[in-house]
């Protein structure tokens, strides 16, 4: 089997190829945002894989994410119970700026004329309050015929208790219209979050389905899988039906790759940042407490809450393509707007004669000497330093600074944005960053790793092998997986034998459903593993904490009782660690969760450590702010220990080793950086 990991980014589409002999190749092409599959098919052709008969493509897609952020989903009708037509518009009435008394109105997620009301209402115990009549269904059919939507989202109150009404409505939707049911996508409480998630799935589902169909048609001999937001992969058919699970597809691949490389480098506690062309994703990985990626069910995409599980990370608009500008107060700002792939940074030379190039972080790094035109993408893409200077010059003139000082200012502002994001995921969670290893990846990460470590007073940093394409590498390390849930609200102390048996049956049903899904995708049943967990909270609280559950399908109800007791004690301890106190109050079970996963693809990374102790220094170059000429080392020939300042170049990224830092290469090819 030939494995190909693909990560579609805002500027570049990255490829990592693992052939049947275990050889690893990396490749990059410029992204094609209007038709992302074109860049993927171009890269596959350039790698000579167009006619490969034994190819598995695992890729992360930004199609769903971009459609949500840009408001370009398909025309979608939202169906809910009578009296709840404005549910998604009202939301939680939470203002983004607490003290802004005159906030600008936001457009409703779904226009009011596309919101339909009907019967089929349940109460909190599942009792029918408003029957779904044949007249209701006929009115829905007539309304859908008149409105002619491309998708329908169905979200009835308490449908997670009984999905029958939603199924009946779905059956009445005309064929050819994409249907998303809340009882299938997110069978959990909180009708607003469930409704938004169901609507997001419906509005981007047809786009994702069309994209995947075009991609699969372009590689008819290959098998194609898609990375989910949880760090597991899924088949293309299921991915199209559950597009909302792909909103953090690419970033999840990056975290899977970071976890994999952290294990190889024996660095279990990582503070990671993935700096690409458009944004930077920050996350905290701690393999000493869990082998799984950190997940949350309280994530957001833009202004919308997303209730399905996704990797727990913080994203900001700071990347290599982030545009620098002077604000109305005369201060230098960077991002969140990005030059993207087209036209890209000024130094890419793609702006055209009628476009005034705008300065970006990449242009600043080139001007400071940290990016080398002859080493960018292995020398296959030349960078235009003259264009970079022309883009930065207007800013320098306005600020009254030299070109170099302005470029350094752009880097400093971008670094401060990223340092703030790193503090959100560490300091603000009560974790001392000095106890972690700062891990960078993405095409631009290595240029900023030393400065960010210094900003957080960290002494250890890690630049993984193939850091510039680590998200694509993570696609290969990810297993086939599903994350399933079943809402079951009950105070733990009130669980009698009947309820314990009910919990047991619900978990068994999740296991059966998850196993069937993976077996359908070709995973051997004997290799499928299950990891159950529970969401707990103090009775009366709104939010939950997820804890693992020591349970298996052959356990009896008495064993489940013991497992829930252990989870309850773990909840008290976790609540104390997070919030500094525990309450003398009943603990409530809210949701049963289950991760069902197949085996990961087995592969290893090797590096040639035999260079006779000799450093292969190519040349010395001038770096802004450095008095002496700095050596440039090709990473694939680096051995022993080196000290900064220095540049370490490779095909897909560059690492800037700042003064006061030393670097050595470990057996897996990772760069281990130490602050002296």
CATH code at position 51:
3.30.420.40
215 and 233, same domain (yes or no): yes
40 and 83, same domain (yes or no): no
- When mean pLDDT is compared across 32-46, 79-93, 370-384, the lowest value belongs to 370-384
- Is residue 633 within 8 A of residue 615, CB to CB? The reply is yes
* Cβ-based neighbours of 240, under 8 Å, separated by 6 or more: 205, 208, 209, 212, 213
- When mean pLDDT is compared across 98-102, 398-402, 545-549, the lowest value belongs to 98-102
103 and 176, same domain (yes or no): yes
Domain span at residue 244 reads 2-68+209-249
- What CA–CA distance (Å, rounded) separates 248 from 344? 23
Task: Give me the pLDDT at residue 612, please.
Answer: 45
- Is residue 639 within 8 A of residue 431, CB to CB? The reply is no
The SS3 of residue 460 is: strand
77 and 191, same domain (yes or no): yes
Bridge-based pairing state of the strands 619-621 and 630-634: antiparallel
With 80 as the cut, is the pLDDT of residue 601 above it? no
Once rounded to an integer, what is the mean pLDDT over residues 257-281? 90
Is 241 within the bounds of a domain?
yes
- What CA–CA distance (Å, rounded) separates 347 from 352? 12
35 and 133, same domain (yes or no): no
pLDDT, tens digit, for every residue of 153-198?
999 999 999 999 999 999 999 999 999 999 999 999 889 999 999 9
Is 405 within the bounds of a domain?
no
672: Cα separation from own chain's centroid: 25
Which residue's entry shows tokens 């050889």?
A: 23
Nearest to 645 by CA among 637, 655, 634, 656: 656
Once rounded to an integer, what is the mean pLDDT over residues 226-240? 89
Task: Give me the pLDDT at residue 340, please.
Answer: 74
116 and 183, same domain (yes or no): yes
Task: Give me the pLDDT at residue 109, please.
Answer: 94
More confident residue, 338 or 421: 421
Bridge-based pairing state of the strands 223-227 and 128-130: unpaired
Task: Give me the pLDDT at residue 357, please.
Answer: 78
Backbone angles phi, psi at 501, to 5 degrees: -65, -35
Report yes or no on whether pTM surpasses 0.75.
yes
Residue 349 banded pLDDT, cuts 50, 70, 90: confident
Is 629 within the bounds of a domain?
yes
> CATH number of the domain that 136 lies in?
3.40.50
**Half-sphere exposure of residue 296: CA atoms within 13 angstroms, side-chain side:** 15
106 and 86, same domain (yes or no): yes
490 and 571, same domain (yes or no): yes
657 and 557, same domain (yes or no): no
Q: Show the CA angle centred on residue 43, arms to residues 37 and 44, nearest 5°.
A: 90
26 and 83, same domain (yes or no): no
With 90 as the cut, is the pLDDT of residue 413 above it? yes
- What CA–CA distance (Å, rounded) separates 121 from 134? 15
Kindly give the interhelix angle for 164-172 and 134-147, rounded to the nearest 10 degrees.
Answer: 50
Residue 442 banded pLDDT, cuts 50, 70, 90: confident
Is 53 within the bounds of a domain?
yes
The SS3 of residue 529 is: strand
- What CA–CA distance (Å, rounded) separates 554 from 551? 8
pLDDT, tens digit, for every residue of 43-90?
999 998 888 888 899 998 888 888 887 788 999 999 999 999 999 999
Once rounded to an integer, what is the mean pLDDT over residues 232-236? 88
Residue 522 banded pLDDT, cuts 50, 70, 90: confident
With 70 as the cut, is the pLDDT of residue 313 above it? yes
With 60 as the cut, is the pLDDT of residue 387 above it? yes
Give the sheet arrangement for strand 24-30, strand by strand: 24-30, 12-18, 2-8, 55-60, 223-227, 233-235
- What CA–CA distance (Å, rounded) separates 386 from 255? 36
- The three-state DSSP-derived secondary structure of 73-136 is CCCEEEEEECCCCCHHHHCCCCCCCCCCCCCCCCCCCCCHHHEEEECCEECCCCCEEECCCHHH
589 and 495, same domain (yes or no): yes
Is 585 within the bounds of a domain?
yes
Task: Give me the pLDDT at residue 352, please.
Answer: 47
Task: Give me the pLDDT at residue 353, please.
Answer: 44
pLDDT, tens digit, for every residue of 468-521?
889 899 988 888 888 999 999 999 999 988 999 999 999 999 999 999 989 988
Once rounded to an integer, what is the mean pLDDT over residues 444-456? 95
Buried/exposed code over 644-655 (b: 16+ C-beta within 10 A; e: otherwise): bbbbbbbbbbbb
Task: Give me the pLDDT at residue 617, please.
Answer: 60
Is 46 within the bounds of a domain?
yes
- What CA–CA distance (Å, rounded) separates 321 from 151? 34
13 and 54, same domain (yes or no): yes
Is 357 within the bounds of a domain?
no
CB atoms within 10 A of CB 576: 12
Backbone angles phi, psi at 492, to 5 degrees: -60, -40
- Give the single-character DSSP code of 480: B
pLDDT, tens digit, for every residue of 352-368?
444 677 899 999 999 99
- Count of structural domains, the chain: 4
Task: Give me the pLDDT at residue 238, please.
Answer: 86
Instruction: Work out the mean pLDDT of the chain and round it to a whole number.
Output: 89
Is 259 within the bounds of a domain?
no
């Amino acid at each position: 089997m030939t494995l190909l990991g693909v990560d579609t980014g805002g500027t570049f589409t990255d490829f990592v190829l693992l052939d049947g002999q275990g050889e690893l190749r990396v490749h990059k092409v410029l992204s094609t945002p209007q038709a992302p599959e074109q860049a993927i098919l171009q890269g596959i052709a350039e790698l000579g894989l167009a006619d490969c008969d034994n190819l598995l493509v695992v890729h992360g897609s930004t199609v769903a994410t971009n459609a949500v952020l840009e408001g370009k989903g398909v025309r979608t009708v939202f169906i809910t119970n009578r009296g709840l037509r404005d549910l998604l518009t009202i939301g939680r009435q939470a203002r983004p700026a607490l003290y802004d008394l005159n906030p600008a109105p936001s457009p409703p997620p779904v226009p009011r004329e596309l919101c339909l009301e009907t019967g089929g209402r349940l109460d909190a115990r599942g009792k029918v309050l408003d029957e779904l009549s044949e007249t209701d269904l006929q009115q829905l059919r007539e309304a859908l015929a008149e409105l002619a939507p491309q998708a329908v989202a169905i979200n009835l109150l308490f449908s997670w208790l009984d999905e029958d009404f939603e199924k009946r409505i779905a059956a009445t939707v005309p064929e050819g219209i994409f249907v998303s049911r809340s009882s299938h996508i997110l069978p959990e409480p909180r009708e607003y979050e469930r409704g938004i998630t169901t609507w997001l799935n419906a509005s981007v589902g047809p786009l994702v389905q069309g994209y995947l169909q075009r991609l699969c048609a372009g590689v008819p001999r290959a098998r194609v899988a898609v990375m989910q937001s949880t760090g597991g992969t899924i088949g293309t058919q299921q991915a199209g039906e559950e597009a909302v699970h792909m909103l953090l597809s690419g970033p999840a691949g990056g975290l899977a790759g970071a976890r994999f490389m952290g294990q190889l480098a024996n660095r279990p506690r990582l503070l990671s940042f993935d700096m690409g062309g458009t944004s930077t994703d920050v996350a905290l990985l701690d393999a000493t407490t869990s082998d799984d990626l950190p997940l949350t069910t309280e994530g957001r995409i833009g202004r919308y809450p997303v209730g399905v599980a996704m990797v727990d990370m913080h994203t900001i608009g700071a990347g290599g393509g982030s545009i620098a500008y002077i604000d109305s107060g005369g201060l230098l700002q960077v991002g969140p707007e990005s030059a993207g792939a087209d036209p890209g940074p000024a130094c890419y030379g793609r702006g055209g004669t009628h476009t005034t190039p705008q300065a970006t972080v990449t242009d600043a790094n080139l001007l400071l000497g940290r990016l080398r035109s002859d080493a960018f993408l292995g020398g296959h893409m030349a960078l235009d330093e003259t264009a970079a200077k022309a883009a930065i010059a207007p800013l320098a003139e306005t600020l009254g600074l030299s070109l170099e000082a302005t470029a350094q200012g752009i880097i400093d502002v971008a670094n401060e944005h990223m340092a703030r994001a790193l503090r959100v995921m560490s300091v603000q969670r009560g974790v001392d960053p000095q106890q972690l290893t700062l891990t960078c990846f993405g095409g631009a990460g290595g240029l900023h790793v030393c400065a960010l470590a210094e900003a957080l007073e960290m002494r250890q940093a890690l630049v993984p092998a193939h850091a510039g394409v680590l998200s694509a590498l993570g696609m290969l390390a990810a297993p086939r997986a599903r994350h399933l849930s079943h809402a079951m609200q009950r105070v733990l102390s009130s669980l009698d034998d009947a309820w314990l048996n009910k919990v047991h049956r619900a978990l068994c049903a999740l296991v059966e459903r998850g196993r069937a899904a993976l077996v359908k995708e070709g995973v051997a049943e004997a290799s499928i593993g299950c990891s159950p967990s529970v969401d707990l909270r103090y009775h009366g609280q709104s939010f939950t904490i997820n804890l693992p559950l020591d349970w298996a399908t052959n356990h009896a109800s008495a064993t489940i009782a013991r497992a829930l007791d252990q989870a309850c004690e773990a909840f008290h301890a976790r609540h104390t660690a997070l919030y500094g106190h525990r309450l003398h109050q009943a603990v409530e079970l809210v949701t049963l969760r289950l991760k069902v996963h197949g085996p990961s693809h087995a592969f290893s990374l090797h590096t040639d450590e035999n260079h006779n102790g000799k450093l292969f220094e190519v040349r010395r170059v001038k770096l802004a702010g450095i008095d002496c000429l700095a050596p440039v080392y090709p990473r694939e020939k680096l051995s022993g220990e080196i000290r900064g300042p220095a540049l370490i170049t490779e095909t897909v990224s560059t690492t800037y080793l700042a003064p006061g830092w030393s670097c050595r290469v470990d057996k897996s090819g990772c760069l281990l950086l130490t602050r002296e």
